[in-house]
């Protein structure tokens, strides 16, 4: 069974640009969550999608948005990029959205802002 696939693995952008990251969950998984990982702030929850609906959102500005498609694939968009957006962005999937469901992580997209 294929794992969670995130594309691209690496991205370099400049301030003010926008970026779209993609996540394909494990087949049959319907819940997708996104996290930002930085050395200073650690792992922070961005948002969670289940059945194409955003179920919960972390404490990030509106420049961060996402969506989920009918096949459970998800995209995350960041507009007007800032230097502080440089981070590893991790996507995780699980069968359901319940709190006792273990999450399966992709290897992340490393975003660097110049």
Partner 1 sequence: AQSVTQLDSHVSVSEGTPVLLRCNYSSSYSPSLFWYVQHPNKGLQLLLKYTSAATLVKGINGFEAEFKKSETSFHLTKPSAHMSDAAEYFCVVSDPNGSARQLTFGSGTQLTVLP
Please answer whether residues 20 and 27 qualify as being in contact, where contact means their C-beta atoms are separated by less than 8 angstroms: no
Pairing status of strand 74-78 against strand 19-24: antiparallel
Stretch that binds partner 1, among 13-21, 64-72, 76-84, 103-111 (CB under 8 A): 103-111
- Give the chain's end-to-end CA distance (angstroms, integer): 37
- Length in residues, the chain: 114
Give the one residue of 8, 51, 107, 114 binding partner 1; rule: CB under 8 A. 107
112 touches partner 1 (CB under 8 A): no
Binding residues for partner 1 (CB under 8 A):
4, 6, 31, 33, 42-43, 45, 48, 55-56, 58, 90, 92, 97-108, 110
């Amino acid at each position: 069974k294929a794992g969670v696939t995130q594309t691209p693995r690496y991205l370099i952008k400049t301030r003010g640009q926008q970026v779209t990251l993609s996540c394909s969950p494990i087949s049959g998984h319907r819940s997708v969550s996104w996290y930002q990982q930085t050395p200073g702030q650690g792992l922070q929850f961005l948002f969670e999608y289940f059945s194409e609906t955003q179920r919960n959102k972390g404490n990030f500005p509106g420049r961060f948005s996402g969506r989920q498609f009918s096949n459970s694939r998800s995209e995350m968009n960041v507009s007007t990029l800032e230097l502080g957006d440089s981070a590893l962005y991790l996507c995780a999937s699980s069968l359901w959205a319940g709190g006792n469901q273990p999450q399966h992580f992709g290897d992340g997209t490393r975003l660097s802002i110049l």
